[in-house]
Chain A
Amino acid sequence: MALLQRFIFLLLFMMTYQLLPCTGSILEEEFTEELLLKPLPDRKVLAHFHFQTKAPPSSSNGRHHHLFPKAISQLVQKFQVKEMELSFTQGRWSYERWGGFDPMPSNNAKPPGVELWAVFDVPQNQIDASWKNLTHTLSGLFCASINFLESSTTYSAPEWGFPPASRNLRYGTLPREAVCTENLTPWLKLLPCRDKSGLSALLDRPSIYRGFYHSQRLRLISTGPGLGGMAGIILEQTLTVVLQPNGRRTIVAHSGEAPVQPSWSMSSIFGRKVNGRCVLAKSSNVYLQFDRGLAKELKNHQNENKDSGTNNLASEDFWNNPGFELSVKPDGVFEEINGLHSESSSVLYKFSMEKYSESEPCDLSFKWKIPVVWSCKQAPLHATRFLMGSGNERGAIAISLKSTELTEGFLGANSVDDGCKVQVNIFQVVPWYVKVYFHSLRVSVDQQLKAPADVIEKIHVSPSKDKVSPGVMEMILKLPCTVKSASLSIDFDKGFLHIDEYPPDANQGFDIPSAVISFPKFHASLIFPKDDSLNESPMLSKFQQKNPVMSYTEVLLVPLTTPDFSMPYNVITITCTVFALYFGSLLNVLRRRVAEEERLLKSKAATKTNRLSLLLSKLSAKLRGKPWEPPSSPQPTSSFISSKLVLRVILVAGIAMVWQYYFS
């Protein structure tokens, strides 16, 4: 029924578009909205909104668009952006509890603050200029201080360490940027329905900012210039939030066991319901995903309860599943096709929003019946980063990699083979005031110090230049599969800044942006059976892409020494006094004469200067109208001085008068 409805609507939609004057292009701008809900092991719920707007490469509509935000298309045209991603994140994705292997953390978990990277389609020498303009434009668009990324000390040009390895890539982060509604509102403005209808209506500000993790992302892919020079653009906007359902009514079902996870519904976690779809959207779906671990647990439970039943969650009898209860009947159930990890597979329930309206809102609720304990799949190695050392002079950054159950399970099978290696890529940017000594890089595998050359297959560093560029470190590590733990540490000196360079709250410390750890040989993909209705979904096709597993480490807070901000004048005056003391006293010693030298000098000087002084004293006497008397020994000096004084005063007055005369 729903499908039919949707089909008719689409037909109508197409027809209205056909009637428009420009009928040349078959490709139309499309907008899809999707929401993925996923229960997390630690009593939380993940909500992932995915909005995609597509503009085909055509110039049929001139510079105008039907659905696509004009600001974004202008930005792409102007700065020749080939690919771009901007994320605003608050909180930290917990890789241990919320999983690290799925497409969700790999693609959508972002470091705290703002992260921006862009690939440009311009010649090498113009990239930096384009980047600067782009940061300013984005800063205006999103009401954020992205313009701080303009300075060359904050962005870097990774060569191959960051996944879209391209020479035209620029990467920058602002770990301390606070994210709030002022950033969300401009982001929602890019959607055709804003937050008035459709799934985006669920975005009630107080409830989504109450979450544990909040990441709002915008990704652009430009598909190259089309017919009329207009590039086709895919704009992907996602919002990932981890919310805590109201857990006050926690029922301890079986004493001694873990309590039942809190039940939740859309209205309880968002405070709103879905009033139908956005009319401009091509499709509007809500998905409920069960993790591999959870699906396995539920299946086991099902098997225990009734042995005769089909051991398939995806079958139609989900309705009377003993584990949970859904308030809305799903429009489809899909099980992941999965070759590698055959032990379990993820399950997806699809709910189409087409049949709902204002009068009949959708409020999907999920109720747990039994306590279930499961865990999410981890990345091959769990990475943490921390600072070592004390004091404000120097320290060390350490990255430690610990094996997770995945490596133990998956790689353990291959451990017979000695040649088995795990490849780990590390990309790290350090600001210039953290002066890294690259020669001090130490690698230890399983608590044994190894020569760096044995473990590091490839390394590329670009050392930081004071007040010019940050330090960048890109590394490929090859670790044996049997590795239990590995750690890298590198020493650094803390820089000392000029007082103007300290931020307002200097004693809080400075942030070192997250390092990016990726595992290129491991692909995070979720492949669902080829079904027409699923193929249309951009979010699920995104999940099917073979992206390497990626994780971000913690942001580090480095305290730097501060000078005294309050008295620059004292420092200036005291230092200058010391210099004056040196200069004056040394010169004094050099020109000091003792008694007989003095007399000698005077007798010498007398012959030279007497004539002039005589002349001057004569002149002054005349001026005073007194008879000139030849000076006796002590007098001439005094009269001479006074006349000199008078002359000086006259000279200064004259200069002052001339100055006044000419310049007033």
Chain B
Amino acid sequence: MEETHQRKKKKVASFWSWVVASIIFRLILIYFPKNLNLAARPEVSTPLTSLRRLAEGFWLKQSSMSPYAGSMYHGSPLLLSLLGPLTVKRIEGQPNHLFFSLLSVIADVCSAMLIRATGKKLQMAYSYSLKSLGLLTQLGSSEILSSGDIAALVYLWNPFTIVTCVGLSTSPIENLAVILCLFGACSRLVPLAAFGWVISTHLSLYPAILIIPVVFLLGYGPDAPPRKLFMKEKYSKNLDESPSEGLMQPKLPIGFSWRPVIYFVFWALLWSVYVLVLCSISLKQYGGLQEMFTSTYGFILTVEDLSPNIGALWYFFAEVFDFFRNFFLIVFHVNILVMILPLAIRLNHRPCFLAFVYIAISSMLKSYPSVGDSALYLGLLGLFVNQLADMQFSFFLFCGYVGVSLLSPVMHNLWIWRGTGNANFYFATATVYACLQTILVVESVSAMLNHDRKLRKLRVAKPEDAKS
């Protein structure tokens, strides 16, 4: 007992030292001259998240023009009034955007902490449900890893996250909002969940689909094995009436509780009205909300900017015949929406994992993807280390990610800067990247379903073991 306690303490200490190391590493990178030019990389800053465009929007607003005049800024007006002043402030002898960089470091650390807290909740729920199924001993031959710590460290030390944090983009803040939403829903803090959901939707539209996992989280509670297993458990308990099983806690995650969901809807409405009012106040003398929606959501949905990024859509829409443009816009956006329902049906007992899959899908198919989005879902992937232990192709995926992130800048350089390459080379890496993400999503979903199957098998086998 003493030994495990000691080990735990040691583990916690090492965790914090790693966190501090990651902060120091970020600070060192910030103090590199010109931020290593990361801010100009297409992988890091998209038209939606670039701080340079935000500064332009702020400048336009300062010179009493609409920030959406021209096609430079496509972000939220709230972000403009919060972060705008930071883009102008300078300290002599310090990097140009020091304040903003510090803010993104803080956002990253906050995200990591929230991921850790969410992971703790999920881990507790996992071990609890295993215990209630009586499978802890069979499955727990190897101990349950503390997924929160792993996920937080994966998030903090992921090169994608670091690059995004140092590269002056607003992605860390968008990611923080998404994680806030998930954390709120996991720990049943309804107003916080609603706040996170509203803000993340307001900032980047795609997290709107997270409403489904959030509702499941609030209704059913955190991730658990399929409810049918528990029903069987209950059934067998009633049949046996054995006193030994009476020790099992009586409250089992069965049934959908509507109360928190209704609260959530109420809070979401409240927050969104609040956000919209704030936006309309800050845009009163310009185009108003109409202009904001057309140049933020409209810009996202119509894929107007064809500058290269790591997604596949820019090149497609640069090449596709104008006549079919609208058709393909609909097809690609519907592609995200179509998978929502099947996934929700199949994974409704695992809302957090569902949220991860949704985030991964939207960051793969979104119109202006950046590595910041990948950083978010790769961090969340760490939350499911226990369940996804049997995932296939994980080494292949790892190599693929490394390869693409090394090749893509090379191809970009060849095409844009040297003029020796061709657009097709860069597009090929983008295609490969999309394929890798597809494999990751498919394999993780498959591994999760297999994990459930394994639990069921064990559950079915267990009574027989008991009888024999």
Q: Which residues of A contact B (CB under 8 A)?
A: 390-394, 432, 435, 437-439, 459, 461-467, 471, 493, 495-500, 561-564, 567-568, 570-572, 574-575, 578-579, 581-583, 585-587, 589-592, 594, 597
Contacts and interface: CB of A to CB of B under 8 A. Distances in A.
B416 A393 contact: yes
Contact of B69 (A439, A462, A467, A498): A462
Contacts of A471: 70
Contacts of B127: none
B22 interface: no
Contact of A571 (B315, B346, B441): B315
B72 A581 contact: no
B28 interface: no
16 contacts: A393-B40, A461-B63, A463-B69, A463-B71, A465-B69, A466-B305, A495-B306, A497-B306, A563-B423, A568-B319, A571-B427, A572-B316, A575-B313, A578-B438, A586-B441, A590-B346
B212 to A, nearest CB: 15
A472 to B, nearest CB: 10
B417 interface: yes
Given A464-B71, A561-B423, A581-B438, A439 B58 contact: yes
Given A435-B72, A465-B70, A586 B445 contact: yes
A586 B306 contact: no
Given A438-B56, A439-B56, A564-B423, A571 B316 contact: yes
A392 B319 contact: no
A561 B419 CA distance: 8
B80 interface: no
A461 B342 CA distance: 50
The 10 A-B pairs of least Cβ separation, nearest first, read A463-B70, A439-B59, A391-B417, A568-B319, A466-B71, A582-B438, A496-B306, A571-B319, A589-B446, A563-B423
Contacts of A590: 342-343, 346, 445, 449
Interface stretch (B203-211, B266-274, B332-340, B368-376): B332-340
B319 A499 contact: yes
B308 interface: yes
Contacts of B416: 391-393, 561
Interface in B281-327: 304-308, 312-322
Nearest to B338: A583
Contact of B314 (A496, A499, A586): A496
B434 A578 contact: yes
B458 interface: no
Contact of B318 (A461, A497, A587): A497
B453 A498 contact: no
B60 interface: yes
Interface string B428-465: 00010011001001100110010001000000000000
B435 A581 contact: yes
Nearest to A493: B307
A594 B63 CA distance: 65
Contacts of A390: 417
B445 A579 contact: no
A471 B70 CA distance: 8
A473 to B, nearest CB: 12
B442 A586 contact: yes
B230 interface: no
Contacts of A461: 63, 65
Contact of B431 (A464, A574, A586): A574
B52 interface: yes
B401 to A, nearest CB: 17
Contacts of B319: 499, 563-564, 568, 571-572
A587 B332 contact: no
Given A463-B60, A466-B305, A587 B342 contact: yes
A500 B317 CA distance: 11
A591 B331 CA distance: 22
A372 B63 CA distance: 54
A121 to B, nearest CB: 29
Interface string B21-43: 00000000000000000001000
B94 interface: no
Contacts of A564: 319, 422-424
A562 B304 CA distance: 17
Contacts of A496: 305-308, 314, 318
Given A466-B304, A586-B442, A394 B40 contact: yes
**Among A391, A570, A582, residue most surrounded by chain B Cβ atoms (within 10 Å):** A582
Given A495-B306, A572-B316, 15 more contacts: A390-B417, A394-B40, A461-B65, A464-B70, A497-B318, A498-B306, A498-B322, A568-B319, A571-B427, A575-B313, A583-B335, A583-B339, A590-B449, A592-B446, A594-B453
A80 B52 CA distance: 44
A570 B312 CA distance: 13
Interface in B327-359: 331-332, 335, 338-339, 342-343, 346
Contact of A500 (B71, B304, B322): B322
Contact of A575 (B316, B338, B419): B316
B335 A579 contact: yes
B453 to A, nearest CB: 6
Contacts of B318: 496-499, 563
A562 B423 contact: yes
Contact of B55 (A439, A495, A500, A597): A439
B69 A575 contact: no
B99 interface: no
**Among A432, A563, A570, residue most surrounded by chain B Cβ atoms (within 10 Å):** A563
**Among B59, B63, B65, B319, residue most surrounded by chain A Cβ atoms (within 10 Å):** B319
B72 A578 contact: no
A591 B445 CA distance: 11
A462 B65 CA distance: 9
Given A463-B60, A465-B71, A582-B438, A495 B307 contact: yes
Contacts of A585: 438, 442
